[in-house]
Amino acid sequence: MTTPRSESPDTRRLDGYEVLVAVCGGIAAYKACEVVSRLVQRGAGVTVAMSKAATRFVGPVTFQALSGRRVLLSLWHPEDAARIEHITQTGAADLILVAPATANIIGKLAAGIADDLVSTMLISAASPILMAPSMNDRMWGHPMVQRNIKMLSDHDVRIIPPGSGWLACRSVGAGRLAEPADILDTVVSTLTAHPPKSVPRPTGSGPAQGEGRSGEWG
C-alpha cells in the first residue's frame, strides 16, 4: 500500500520515461485524464489503452488529444496482422498504471486471465504495475476483492489505495479513486527509482485506433 501524499509534491521531470496507462470502465475514468495530462507535462511519453467499458465514460479522442498518441482499443489489427501491440507496448513501457482499476480487472490479473487488450497487456508486463482501485464500497470490502488485492500485492503489484467519501452510487465509504496528485506522486517515485529503458519510443501517433470501426474488443 502507498502512504498519504506529502505536503511537498514530487516535481521531478520524467523525460525519457514511457508510461502505459490502462483505463478501465468506471465513472472515475475522468480522473485518468488529469493524470495523463500531468505526466505529459512532466516530459513522459504516455500511451493510453482503454477497455471497451472505459469508452462508455471517456471518449478515446480525449486521451488522444492529451497524450498526443493513438489510443489502443483492441488486440486485433486487420490492417496489420503482424503487429503484436501488447508485446510491443509493454516491452517499451517503464511502468504500467491501471486507473481506475475495477474489481473486474483486479480479479482477472489475480487469476491470470487475459481475454482482452488491457488484461493481456498486464499479463505480458515487463515493468512495474501500479493499480489504483475504484469501485463501490461494498465491492471494495468484499472478501474476494480483498483476497485478490493481497495476492497482487504479494506478487509486487503496487496498490494505490482508494479514498473514502461520496461515491457515484450515492453511498459514502471506501472506494473512491485516489486523487490525481497522489497517483502522480506514486508514479514519479516508482519511475525515478530506475533509469528509463533504452528502448525506442513507440511511434503511435495519428488517429485513434478503432475509430470508425465496429466489433472490436477493448
According to DSSP, the residues that pair with 173 across neighbouring strands are 165
Q: What is the dihedral of CA 20, 26, 32, 33, to 10 degrees?
A: 120
Cα-flanking dihedrals φ and ψ of residue 20, to 5°?
-100, 115
Q: Does 208 map to a domain?
A: no
Question: Is residue 106, in this structure, part of any structural domain at all?
Answer: yes
Residue 2 in any domain: the answer is no
127 occurs within a structural domain:
yes
d(CA 134, CA 167): 10
Q: Is 197 inside a domain boundary?
A: no
Please answer whether residues 102 and 26 qualify as being in contact, where contact means their C-beta atoms are separated by less than 8 angstroms.
Answer: yes
Catalytic residue numbers read 169
Query: What CATH number has the domain bearing residue 49?
Result: 3.40.50.1950
Please name which of 200, 184, 180, 202 lies closest in space to residue 192, comparing C-alpha atoms: 184
* Window from 66-70, 73-77, 84-88, 143-147 with minimum mean pLDDT: 84-88
**Could you report the per-residue pLDDT of 89-112, keeping only the tens digit for each?**
899 999 999 999 999 999 999 999
pLDDT band at 207 (very low <50, low <70, confident <90, very high): very low
Alpha helices by DSSP H, 76-127: 85-92, 103-111, 117-123
Query: What residues make up the domain containing 68?
Result: 18-191
Contact yes or no for 128/121 (Cβ under 8 A)? no
| Peptide bond just before 100 cis, omega within 30 deg | yes
- The whole-model pTM stands at 0.83
Q: What is the pLDDT of residues 123-143, one digit of tens each?
A: 999 999 999 999 988 889 999
Percent pLDDT > 90 in the chain is 67
How many domains, the chain?
1
Domain membership of residue 140 (yes or no) is: yes
Cell numbers at residue 194, please? Answer: 530506475
Residue 129, H or E segment: strand 129-133
